[in-house]
A and B are shown apart, each in its own frame.
Chain A
Amino acid sequence: MTGILGWLGGRERSGPPVVALRVTRFRQLLTGYARLLDLARDAAVKQGGEYVFDRQFVRTLVEAAIDIAESAVFDLNVITREASLSYYEACEKLAAEARLALRAGLESLDAEDAAIPPSPQGGTDLAQAIAAAPLLYRQAGQVASRGIASAPVVNLEDAGGPVGDPRGAVLVAAGLDLDSPALALLDGAAALLLDGNSPADGVASLARQRRIPCIVRLRDASRRIRSGTVVTVDAEDSAVYAGRVEELLALGGGEEEAEYRLLRAVRRGLFELTPGSNRTAPVPSACRTLRDLVHLAHLVAGDALFGLVRAEAAKERRARAGADVVVFAADSGAGTDEGPLASVFVGMRAGGVSGAGGVTRYAAVDRDRCILLAAAHGGIDVVAAATTDLPSANFLYCRLVPSFGATDVDGWRGRIGAEVLRRIGLEVAATPREVSAWGRGMDAEELGPRLEVVGRLVAWRGGDTKGDPVGAARDLLRESGWSRR
């Protein structure tokens, strides 16, 4: 980038204290949102059935989500100088609803028969039959949906298309996403085995909804198990056997325990994102879940921070027209040629941004953290990242305006952006107002290339999409060198 301008404080780039404080608050808010997503993902993994949890886990989950939402609302009010007080009321209402729903769910559990059902079959015979069955996997993957089933395999990775009738089969694949055409085969399948995926993803959720036993993260099932092989999937105990194990099949998959139903209801009330219509500006009173509220709070906080730094920069004569990036609120002497912001700039340059192009971007940087704010197509793009030596403290966050404006009524920027961000392994939330994405727990080497791709998306001015967001996303990633990684 050219024309990078140190602002206020010259070499120290300290920025005015009020900006520095609000940058810190914004980071806190983003960190809180990341924790909420971690909670949601952890709860989804528990929903898969491989873990045994008790009611205390569900109680703690609800209180932790409420704590995060309350902190987010506080941070928002610091950033907006108490201009978002209505969020407190909305938060109180949603917290009360979540606690009420939890209490009702727990009372309903108490009212149910608490007897432990006897095992239909047990003892030495069952253990010997299981021990004698040829084992393909045990505890190798993660249970995403419980149950026991046996059938011939249809391997979806077979060259020339799947061999055999997928109805009633055990489907095996390297990985599936909610856009995979092969997902249609899930209806009527006996079970699903995947090399990749996660118990927390949409495919796992679909398998649970359809009560199809599913084990994910088996690593090599699609290379190891050939079409036509009869297998028994024990997704109660994360095991796969060659052949039919009649003794296991006789056990059947029991009804899921009431605690799993309670967890499902609680997750829906806390973590679903219900973006609503794009015709009206979202308001806190319309939020239906705590996730809705935290999401809205982080958008409003980003807008407010952008407004603040732009106003402060306008006061500063040195923030002249023609500067590409105004750097503010840096905590150390680090510049924009190292750390996460440097990776974003690499992507932006590769995407064709060599000068200001009439857009001033604002960046807070230090040695291993950055926040970049940029006006874009009637809204703002935001990139925030931390690339420390501690992977658990690292994150990548971005928010993109989903449309190029009046010439992009179909929202190609958002559609392709979301596809690209998903393909680089980020957790994406797409609403009519923005596309946002998160990546967490990666080391700096893993985050660097992703930041370059995000930089490319920020700089992207569109192109020939051919009406195909998946193809356009693939092209953009190929151009950025991602597909070679």
Chain B
Amino acid sequence: MARVMVVDDEPIVGSRLRPILERAGLEVEVFLDAVAAHARLGECRFDVLVTDLRMPGVDGLQLLERALEHNARVRVLLITAFATPELKRGVLARGAFECIAKPFRIGDLRDAVLRAAEASAAGEE
């Protein structure tokens, strides 16, 4: 079972995503606090990280770097209300698997997470 970390300081994101991802057979940990998520990434390997970009304390790019440091096979999906083509290019260049604009269809995000989990399992680093 793939392990997914969801990080967003807005509770609605975790509360909507967790049940949908669990229904898809994924093991999900949700964090409102990006600092706590940052620490957790050092303790445990996740196959997929879904994170907001702008958060207090630690931002999504710092989480991305931290996740890749500890597991080169992790796939990172950045979600943001401030998506632009430049931003998307920038985060993909830094190793993100996808950059998804908010608001998003919950089914689309679930499908993206499943693709990311497959890519992680395929083992390309």
Report if B14 contacts A (CB, 8 A): yes
Residue among A52, A124, A130 making CB contact with B106, cutoff 8 Å: A52
Instruction: Please give me the residue from chain A that is nearest to B52 by CB atom.
Output: A54
The answer for the CA separation of A51 and B19 in the assembled complex, in Å, is 14
Residue among A46, A123, A131 making CB contact with B27, cutoff 8 Å: A123
The interface residues of chain A lying within 8 Å CB-to-CB of B82 are: 56
Given A54-B81, A257-B15, do A124 and B25 touch, yes or no (CB 8 Å)?
Answer: yes
Report if B17 contacts A (CB, 8 A): yes
Given A116-B15, A237-B106, do A54 and B10 touch, yes or no (CB 8 Å)?
Answer: yes
Report if B39 contacts A (CB, 8 A): no
Which residues between 1 and 36 of chain B lie within 8 Å of chain A, taking CB atoms? Answer: 1, 8, 10-20, 22-28, 30, 32
Is A259 a contact of B20 with CB atoms below 8 Å? no
Given A119-B18, A119-B22, do A52 and B11 touch, yes or no (CB 8 Å)?
Answer: no
Is A126 a contact of B12 with CB atoms below 8 Å? no
Which residues between 70 and 124 of chain B lie within 8 Å of chain A, taking CB atoms? Answer: 81-82, 102-107, 109-110
Given A55-B10, A116-B18, do A50 and B105 touch, yes or no (CB 8 Å)?
Answer: yes
Residue among A54, A124, A131 making CB contact with B102, cutoff 8 Å: A54
Which residues between 98 and 147 of chain A lie within 8 Å of chain B, taking CB atoms? Answer: 114-117, 119, 122-124, 126-128, 130-131, 139
The answer for the CA separation of A119 and B14 in the assembled complex, in Å, is 11
Residue among B13, B19, B107 making CB contact with A50, cutoff 8 Å: B107
The interface residues of chain B lying within 8 Å CB-to-CB of A123 are: 1, 22, 25, 27
Q: Smallest Cβ distance from A298 to chain B, in angstroms?
A: 29
Report if A366 contacts B (CB, 8 A): no
Q: Smallest Cβ distance from A146 to chain B, in angstroms?
A: 10
Binary per-residue interface labels of chain A (204-246) against chain B in the complex, 1 for a CB within 8 Å, 0 otherwise: 0000000000000000000000000000000011100000000
The answer for the CA separation of A126 and B24 in the assembled complex, in Å, is 8
The interface residues of chain B lying within 8 Å CB-to-CB of A139 are: 107
Is A236 a contact of B103 with CB atoms below 8 Å? no
Is B102 a contact of A238 with CB atoms below 8 Å? no
Report if A251 contacts B (CB, 8 A): yes
Which residues between 22 and 50 of chain A lie within 8 Å of chain B, taking CB atoms? Answer: 46, 50
The answer for the CA separation of A114 and B31 in the assembled complex, in Å, is 11
Given A119-B19, A119-B22, do A114 and B102 touch, yes or no (CB 8 Å)?
Answer: no
Given A114-B32, A236-B19, do A54 and B13 touch, yes or no (CB 8 Å)?
Answer: yes
Q: Smallest Cβ distance from A56 to chain B, in angstroms?
A: 4
Is B22 a contact of A126 with CB atoms below 8 Å? yes
Is B23 a contact of A127 with CB atoms below 8 Å? yes
Is B24 a contact of A127 with CB atoms below 8 Å? yes
Candidate in A50, A52, A259 with the most chain B CB atoms within 10 angstroms: A52
The answer for the CA separation of A149 and B32 in the assembled complex, in Å, is 30
Candidate in B1, B14, B32, B107 with the most chain A CB atoms within 10 angstroms: B107
Is B11 a contact of A116 with CB atoms below 8 Å? yes
Instruction: Please give me the residue from chain B that is nearest to A127 by CB atom.
Output: B25
Is A114 a contact of B11 with CB atoms below 8 Å? yes
Given A114-B32, A116-B30, A237-B106, do A52 and B13 touch, yes or no (CB 8 Å)?
Answer: yes
Instruction: Please give me the residue from chain A that is nearest to B24 by CB atom.
Output: A127
The interface residues of chain A lying within 8 Å CB-to-CB of B102 are: 52-54, 56-57
The interface residues of chain A lying within 8 Å CB-to-CB of B14 are: 116
Residue among B18, B22, B105 making CB contact with A51, cutoff 8 Å: B105
Interface set of A (CB-CB < 8 Å, partner B)? 46, 50-57, 60, 114-117, 119, 122-124, 126-128, 130-131, 139, 236-238, 251, 254, 257-259
Extra contacts, 7 of them, besides A116-B15, A258-B12 (Cβ < 8 A), are A52-B12, A53-B12, A54-B12, A56-B82, A122-B19, A127-B26, A238-B107
Chosen A-B contacts, 27 in total, with CB atoms closer than 8 Å, are: A50-B106, A51-B103, A52-B12, A52-B102, A52-B103, A52-B106, A53-B12, A53-B102, A53-B103, A54-B8, A54-B10, A54-B102, A55-B10, A56-B81, A57-B102, A57-B103, A114-B32, A115-B11, A116-B30, A117-B15, A119-B22, A127-B24, A127-B26, A131-B25, A236-B19, A237-B23, A259-B12
Closest 8 CB pairs of A and B: A127-B25, A122-B22, A53-B103, A56-B81, A54-B10, A116-B14, A51-B103, A259-B12
